[in-house]
Structures are given as C-alpha cells and as structure tokens.
Amino acid sequence: MKPPEEQIDFLLSYEGRWPAPSTDGLAAAVANAATRNLEWAEKLLRAFAQRDAFQHPIWHRVFWQLEWKKIPTAFQFWIVDTISTKREKIKDFGGPTRLIFVGESFEPVPSLDLVEAMLDLSLSLWPILVTRPNNAETTDLEEDWTSRAINSAEGRIAEFWLRYVDHSRPDRVFHPEFGLPGSLRCSMK
C-alpha cells in the first residue's frame, strides 16, 4: 500500500464518475484500509490535517470506522489535539465525537493525561456545538429528541461527561484525584 503522502493529491481531487467508483465508494474503501492498518490511518489523517481537508468525505469516513480502543495512545493524543486545535475549521464533529466520546473510550481505562485531554476537548467543543444554527432548539413536537440526544455530537459529549463522573466516583478504582472540573460542575447545575 502506498503511503498516504504519495496519494493525498489524488484522494483530495478525486471525482468519481461512472464507471469509476463514486467519491463515497472511494471514501469507504480508504476507511476500510485505514481500519486494517492503523499506522497508515494515522499518516492518512495527518496528511488530511496538514491540508486542512476537514470537510472531505474520507476524513469523516475514517473517524466513523476506527475503534478508539484499538488506536495506540500516541495516535489518540494526536487525534484529540488535532480536533482541539483545528476545531474552528471543522464543520462536522459527528465522526470525531463518535470516535472519541462513545462508551468504549473508558475501556480499557485510559491514562489520566488522555482523559484530561478528552475532557478539555469536550469542554472546548461544547460552546461551538450548542450555538450552531443547526443545533438550535426546535418547537416541533414531531422531533425525535431521544435519537438526537444519543446520536448528536452534543449527546456524545454529554454521555462522555456521565462516564467521566461515573469513573471518577471515590468507590471505583480509577483515578481518585480526578474530581469534577469547575467548568463541568457549572454545566451540570
């Protein structure tokens, strides 16, 4: 498999036209390759980040297919740091929040430094997510609010906060020095 750095121009400029695979088909194939080779996946995401290609279908698809618990810790830190530092350039947080904040993020128990980085990321994303126009509250009684709550970026962050609090309880063998940060404490009132 060629290194992503050698393929990035092709991947970014690809426009699938019949009889070639569609752009979504290419994104699915690349994401499948990324799940089979995490070193290649890291290089791929780094190449996309270097180009600020955060809206590209491949960027999104890779996040939807990777599994947090299978990713090496250094790669996890890079993902959290990249989403945090580039958050103003990213329009869709669905994939990243699914990868970082779903229930498996505490299985196995991550290092205290990683959990703190994840918590900091969640707190920095929260104001962005809740103030976006597409996230404004609706008065439509037909809206499936439970589905939105568990499938939205905001819902994934809230789930992470609950898991964080659960794992921070003194009767658990986790990291008793965690405590609830002031900014989260204020959000929970």
What stretches in the chain show pLDDT beneath 70? 103, 133-145, 148-149, 168-189
pLDDT score for 151: 78
pLDDT score for 96: 95
pLDDT score for 143: 62
Residue partners of 155: CB distance under 8 A and separation at least 6: 148, 149
Distance from C-alpha of 123 to C-alpha of 159, rounded to nearest angstrom: 13
pLDDT score for 179: 54
Domain ranges of the chain: 1-66, 73-189
Distance from C-alpha of 189 to C-alpha of 182, rounded to nearest angstrom: 11
Q: Can you give the length of the chain in residues? A: 189
Q: What is the pTM of this model?
A: 0.81
Interval 15-34: pLDDT, tens = 877 787 888 999 999 999 99
Distance from C-alpha of 16 to C-alpha of 139, rounded to nearest angstrom: 40
pLDDT score for 20: 79
pLDDT score for 1: 79
pLDDT score for 169: 62
